[in-house]
Amino acid sequence: MKLRRLEAAEDAALDRRAVDSATLIAAAEIVEAVKEGGERAVRRFAERFDGVASAGPLLIGREEINSALDQLPAGDRRLLTRTAARIDRFAAHQKASLTDLTLDIAGGRAGHHVEPVGRAGCYAPGGRYPLPSSVLMTAVTARVAGVESVVVASPRPTPVTLAAAAVAGADAVLAVGGAHAIAALAFGFDGFDPCDVVAGPGNRWVTAAKQLVVGQVGIDMLAGPSELVVLADDGADPAMVAADLLGQAEHDPEALPVLVTTSEVLASAVEAEIDDQFGDLPTQEVARAALENGFVTVVPDMDTAIGVCDRLAPEHLQVMTVNPGEVASRLRHWGGLFVGAGSAEVLGDYGAGPNHTLPTGGVARYRGGLSVMDFVRVRTWLEIDDPVAARETIEDSIALARIEGLEAHARAAERRLKPGS
C-alpha cells in the first residue's frame, strides 16, 4: 500500500485541530441544554445517542460495578489488576515528586501545599471499541492523586468496562457518552454532583464539550485524533515499523500514522510490509482510512528528521534507529516517547506505566500527558510575622504600587510598618 509522500516542510500545512467550528457550535447546544435541563436533558440525549432506554439507569453504582468484576473470567480479572498496578506504581512515583514546600523569607515564611481536587470525572470512549484501558489510565491516576470521589463516564459500558472501573476504585459509572456526558460531569444534576476536573480521551464531540466547560471545571487537554510518528533509519525492521503503523491506524479513521525516515529503501519496504500484514487484519476498514490520512516523509539526514518530528510534536513518537538513545536525547516535543525497537507504542497504550492520555495536534509543545498533576492543586501561602525584618519587601511593595497608580495598595502595605500594627 503506497502511503502519500510529504516533503519535510509540507507537514506544517496539515489541519490538526482537535475540533472543528461546526462541531463546537452543535456541541454548545447540547452543553447548554444539559446545564439548564439537568437529568431530563441528559436522559433525552442518552436515549438519542447512547441507546439508553427511557426508564433505564444513567448511573451504575459501586455494587453493580463490583458485581461486573466478580463475574469477569478470572484471567481477565488478573489482567486488569496487573495493568492497574503498573499504572498505580508509576503515578505513585509521580506523586512522590510533588511535595509541600516551606521556605524562610525575610520576616516570615512562604510555601505551597499540594492537595488533590475533591471530585474527578474520568471519560472513557466506548463507541467503536470498549476501552477499559482508558478507564484504568484515568481513574487509577485520579485515585493515586488522592481524589476522594471518582466517577467514570462511558457510553454503553460493557462488563469489562464496568470491571475496570471497579479495579480502578471508581465510585460510579455514568452510562452516557459524548458532549452530554461531559456537560453532566461539569454541571451535575439531581443526585449527581458536579466534578472539579474532567479528564480522558474522546471523539470530537467530547473534545468540543471539554472546550466549552473550561472554567466551570478544570480539564486535562483538548485531544484530537490519535497520532503516531515513527522516526526510523535504515537500521529499522520494516516489518516492525509496519506493525506499529497499522496498530495506530486501526484506532480511528482520522488517526494519523506517520513514518519519518532517512531511508527511501526502508520507506518502500514498510509499504510492502503493510500490504502483507493488512490482508487478515479484522479492522481493515478503519485502518485503510487512517493510512490514507497518514504519510511518509523521506529526509536526507537525521537532523532534518528530528526537525520534522519536533515541528509535528506528535502524541506518540517512536524512535527506531541504530542509536535510539542518542537520537531521543535530541528530540524536544512529544506526548509520549518510545525509545528503541522494543518500546512499542502499544505497550504504552496498555499499561507499561506512563499514561496513555496524551496531547495531540502539536499540543505537546506546551504540555505533557495526563498525570497526577492534573488532579491536584499547588496552592501557595505566605506568613509575615516580623515586619521589621520584612521592611525591604514592604517598602518595595509600596513603591511598585505607586508606580502602578494603586494608592490603596501602597497604604495597606504602609500600615505594616506602623508601630503596633
Under 8 Å between Cβ of 58 and 52 = yes
Cβ proximity of 274 and 246 under 8 Å? yes
The shares of helix, strand and coil residues in the chain, as percent rounded to the nearest 5, are 50, 20, 35
Distances in whole angstroms, Cα of residue 165 to Cα of each of 63, 203, 225, 371: 11, 20, 24, 18
- Spatial neighbors of 175 by CB under 8 A, at least 6 apart, are 46, 50, 52, 56, 57, 58, 59, 60, 154, 155, 156, 157
Q: Is 409 a catalytic residue?
A: no
Distances (CA, A) of 393 to 105, 157, 387, 389, 420: 10, 57, 9, 9, 19
List the catalytic residue out of 250, 273, 315, 345.
315
Residue 406, Cβ neighbours under 10 Å: how many?
12
Asked whether 91 and 372 are in contact (CB, 8 A), the reply is yes
The grid cell for 109 is 515564611
CB 145 within 8 A of CB 91: yes
- Which residue of the set 180, 251, 271, 316 is catalytic? 316
Check if 315 is active-site. yes
Question: HEC profile for 238-263?
Answer: HHHHHHHHHHHHCCCCCCEEEEEECC
Q: Return d(Cα 414, Cα 421) in angstroms, integer.
A: 10
Whether 238 contacts 266, CB under 8 Å: yes
Q: What residues are annotated to the active site?
A: 315-316
